[in-house]
């Protein structure tokens, strides 16, 4: 098992890890992805965390349906805390997980009962003489530059090996600033992968089936997040007025814009992004 010191993990990755840890705490699930809502909820139907967990299991089943029959071993890049890896292990694949986060590593080992190897590293830094049949990026492609992803995957796959990517992507290349702007532009990802020797085998746009998770997140944020922030602000205003004044200033300076944008996430997603599952094959 490859080890990496926490200090070697870059700051932006550590910020992302903090956000992922927060998401883990809210869902209590072993999956860190958006899920696949099928059937789609009817307008006005209640969305909740239990239903999200069902959708997350369905998403992993959906990913599984993309895996070609000749695949035996899989590198699960950005494996999170092991939900997908356990599912694949139970279906007979030899799986290895990889993620640059020590908290995820602990939870991954717990959730997989220590049976599945875990590499504590960024994909960009991962080196191995082993060749894999399939490399999975389940909502982790957006954290890795397209050329690093394409060339790194080509170097780790056996000839004719597969790359399975499922992620939010930018359909609109002009969308360059904002909460989802780290997602890859579909056309740029395609160019990088083709340049590295991959051909697209199968693709499916599942935007409609992940969108209820955005609705659920906004709903929860509005109900619990904003209400909690307001309650804390009210208490601080009564108890320590000067701290409240500094807090209000800091809120306006750094947080207000992010919150307004977060509440518009669904609109931003529908206008500029899509969610695709793509199966690529490396030339033989």
Look up residue 179 and give its DSSP letter: T
Among the candidate windows 111-119, 140-148, 244-252, 263-271, which touches ligand SAM by CB under 6 A?
Answer: 140-148
Nearest approach, Cβ of 167 to ligand SAM (angstroms)? 9
Chain centroid to Cα 156, Å, comes to: 21
Instruction: Based on the shown chain and the rule CB under 6 A, indicate whether residue 84 belongs to the binding site for ligand SAM.
Output: yes
End-to-end CA distance of the chain: 29
* Residue among 83, 152, 161, 212 that touches ligand SAM (CB under 6 A): 83
Instruction: Based on the shown chain and the rule CB under 6 A, indicate whether residue 213 belongs to the binding site for ligand SAM.
Output: no
Respond yes or no on whether the N-terminal peptide bond of residue 39 is cis (omega within 30° of 0): yes
Contact residues for 115 (Cβ-Cβ < 8 A; gap 6+): 89
> What is d(CA 107, CA 111) in angstroms, rounded to the nearest whole number?
6
Taking residues 27 to 66 in sequence order and writing x for each that binds ligand SAM by CB under 6 A, - otherwise, the string is ----xxx---------------------------------
> What is d(CA 14, CA 11) in angstroms, rounded to the nearest whole number?
5
Tokens encoding 160? 């004719």
Q: Name the nearest CA neighbour of 79 among 36, 122, 49.
A: 122
Q: Name the nearest CA neighbour of 93 among 59, 123, 63.
A: 63
Nearest approach, Cβ of 22 to ligand SAM (angstroms)? 12
Nearest approach, Cβ of 173 to ligand SAM (angstroms)? 22
Q: Name the nearest CA neighbour of 5 among 102, 135, 108, 110.
A: 102
Among the candidate windows 100-108, 184-192, 216-224, 271-279, which touches ligand SAM by CB under 6 A?
Answer: 100-108
* Residue among 36, 55, 66, 78 that touches ligand SAM (CB under 6 A): 78
Instruction: Based on the shown chain and the rule CB under 6 A, indicate whether residue 275 belongs to the binding site for ligand SAM.
Output: no
Given the complex with ligand SAM, which of 130 and 256 has the nearer CB atom? 130
Given the complex with ligand SAM, which of 82 and 161 has the nearer CB atom? 82
Instruction: Based on the shown chain and the rule CB under 6 A, indicate whether residue 112 belongs to the binding site for ligand SAM.
Output: no
Instruction: Based on the shown chain and the rule CB under 6 A, indicate whether residue 144 belongs to the binding site for ligand SAM.
Output: yes
A 10 A CB-CB count for 9 gives: 18
Tokens encoding 252? 């306006």
- Phi/psi at 181 (5° precision): -75, -10
Given the complex with ligand SAM, which of 107 and 244 has the nearer CB atom? 107
Nearest approach, Cβ of 98 to ligand SAM (angstroms)? 6
Nearest approach, Cβ of 2 to ligand SAM (angstroms)? 12
- Could you give the 3-state DSSP secondary structure of residue 161? strand
**What are the residues binding ligand SAM (CB under 6 A)?**
13, 16-17, 20, 31-33, 77-80, 83-84, 98-101, 104, 122-124, 138-140, 143-144
């Amino acid at each position: 098992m490859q080890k990496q010191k926490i200090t070697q993990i870059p700051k932006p990755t550590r910020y992302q890890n903090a956000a992922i840890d927060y998401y883990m705490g809210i869902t209590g699930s072993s999956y860190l992805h958006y899920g696949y809502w099928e059937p789609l909820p009817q307008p006005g139907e209640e969305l909740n965390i239990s239903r999200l967990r069902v959708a997350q299991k369905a998403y992993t089943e959906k990913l599984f349906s993309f895996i070609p029959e000749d695949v035996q071993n899989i590198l699960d890049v950005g494996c999170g805390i092991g939900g997908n890896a356990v599912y694949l292990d139970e279906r007979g694949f030899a799986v290895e997980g990889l993620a640059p986060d020590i908290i995820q590593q602990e939870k991954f080992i717990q959730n997989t009962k220590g049976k599945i190897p875990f590499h504590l590293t960024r994909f960009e830094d991962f080196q191995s003489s082993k060749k894999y049949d399939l490399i999975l990026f389940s909502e982790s492609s957006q954290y890795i530059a397209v050329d690093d992803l394409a060339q790194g995957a080509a170097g780790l796959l056996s000839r004719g090996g597969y790359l399975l990517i499922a992620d939010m992507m930018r359909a609109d290349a002009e969308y360059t600033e904002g909460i989802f702007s780290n997602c890859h532009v579909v056309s740029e990802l395609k160019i990088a992968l083709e340049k590295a020797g991959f051909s697209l085998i199968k693709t499916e746009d599942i935007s409609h089936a992940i969108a209820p998770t955005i609705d659920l997140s906004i709903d929860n944020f509005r109900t619990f997040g904003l209400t909690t922030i307001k309650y804390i602000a009210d208490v601080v205003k009564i108890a320590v007025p000067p701290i409240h004044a500094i807090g209000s200033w800091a809120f306006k300076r750094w947080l207000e814009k992010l919150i307004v944008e977060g509440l518009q996430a669904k609109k931003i997603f529908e206008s500029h992004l899509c969610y695709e599952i793509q199966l690529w094959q490396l030339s033989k």
